[in-house]
Amino acid sequence: MESPENPEIDQKLKEIEASLNRDSLGKIYQVEKLPDNSQDHQNLDNPFSQITTWYQGLPSNSKVLVLLGGGVVGLVVIGTVLRLVSALFTLAILAGGAYLAYKFWIEPKQGQ
C-alpha cells in the first residue's frame, strides 16, 4: 500500500507499526486481586447504611429540609395510627354496648 506521492507518510506509518509491534510483544499482563471488602459490601446492602451515606452526602440546607420533611411524614404516620387505634376502641365499645343491650333486653324476652 505504498503510494509514490507520499513516501514520508509511508515511512512514518511503518515506523509506528514497528514500534507498536515491538511494544506489545513479550508483555505479560498481571491481574492484581483486590482485597476482599466483604464488610463494605455488607454495609452497602444494609438499607440504614445506604440512607446514612446518602444523607451525609447532602449539603447542609438539604439536610435541614430532609429532617423537616421526615418529621412531617413521621407526625402524619403517628396521627394515622392514633386515629386507627381510636376507631378500633370506638368499635369495641359499640360492639360491647350492642352485646349488653342484647343480653339485657332482647334475650330475656325470648326466654319467656
Please tell me the distance from the alpha carbon of residue 100 to that of residue 56, in angstroms, as a whole number.
Answer: 58
pLDDT at 20: 72
Of 99 and 19, which is predicted with more confidence? 99
**pTM for the structure as a whole:** 0.49
Q: How confident is the model at residue 19 (pLDDT cuts 50, 70, 90)?
A: confident
Q: In 1-112, where do the E strands start and end?
A: none
Q: Which of 4-36 are b and which e, b meaning 16 or more Cβ less than 10 Å from the residue's Cβ?
A: eeeeeeeeeeeeeeeeeeeeeeeeeeeeeeeee
pLDDT tens digits, 24-55:
555 555 666 767 665 555 556 788 888 899 99
pLDDT in tens, 64-94: 999 999 999 999 999 999 999 999 999 999 9
Largest CA distance in the chain: 128
Range picked from 5-19, 49-63, 80-94, 95-109 for highest mean pLDDT: 80-94
Listed by start position, the domains of the chain span: 60-112
